[in-house]
Amino acid sequence: MATFPRITPPSVTEPFAHFWHTPISSGFSRLIPVLAGYIECERDLEHADCFDPAFVDWTREAERARAKALDLAGRIGSAPIARREDLPLKRSGMLVHALIESPSEDAFTSLHALLGTHAELFACVETGVVADRVRQMLETCHAQIAALAELGEFDDPASAWDDDATHREPATMTLAPAL
């Protein structure tokens, strides 16, 4: 009797069980730490006098971090989709780009609301190892988007001002005599 040796590994017929990068997922995994760095730079500037010459380097660093985040998010938006799991990554990258470049607080707020109103567009509903990794990246990115929303840079003080409001009138101050 002849013994037939196996020339095909047994795992070839099983589904692929490892995560591999596509251009979008690779760019997205680079965007996450860059976005975190940008948020930290902006937080540093919120607690400093950005017009003080001592903080000029902080301002430059924040501008470089912003430009790098916009560049990576723009590359994600223009990269081709290689698999279904890339769609929410691409949409989230495009949302990050739009949020950073939003011209006003109203525009930022309406864009940020998309995560809640159209959550299915920014979520990975696939199953498997690749989908699990994509969900982890999306979860981290969405947490960073929430942190981005808390930054003072995206608060427009002019939009909060209501010229018709009477409560904006200067209040009369009464001083209590010192005891």
pLDDT in tens, 67-88: 999 999 999 888 888 888 889 9
CA distances to 41, 44, 46 from 55, rounded to whole Å, are 11, 10, 11
If pLDDT is split at 50, 70 and 90, which confidence band does 35 have? very high
DSSP 1: -
If pLDDT is split at 50, 70 and 90, which confidence band does 97 have? very high
Give the whole-angstrom CA distance, residue 91 versus residue 107: 17
Of 75, 60, 66, 63, the closest CA to residue 27 belongs to 75
If pLDDT is split at 50, 70 and 90, which confidence band does 6 have? low
Give the whole-angstrom CA distance, residue 100 versus residue 114: 15
pLDDT of residue 160: 46
Give the whole-angstrom CA distance, residue 145 versus residue 39: 9
Give the whole-angstrom CA distance, residue 149 versus residue 49: 21
Asked if 128 contacts 15 with a C-beta cutoff of 8 angstroms, the reply is yes
Q: What tens digit of pLDDT does each residue of 17-32 get?
A: 666 778 888 888 899 9
Asked if 129 contacts 17 with a C-beta cutoff of 8 angstroms, the reply is yes
Whether the pLDDT of residue 110 is over 90: the answer is: no
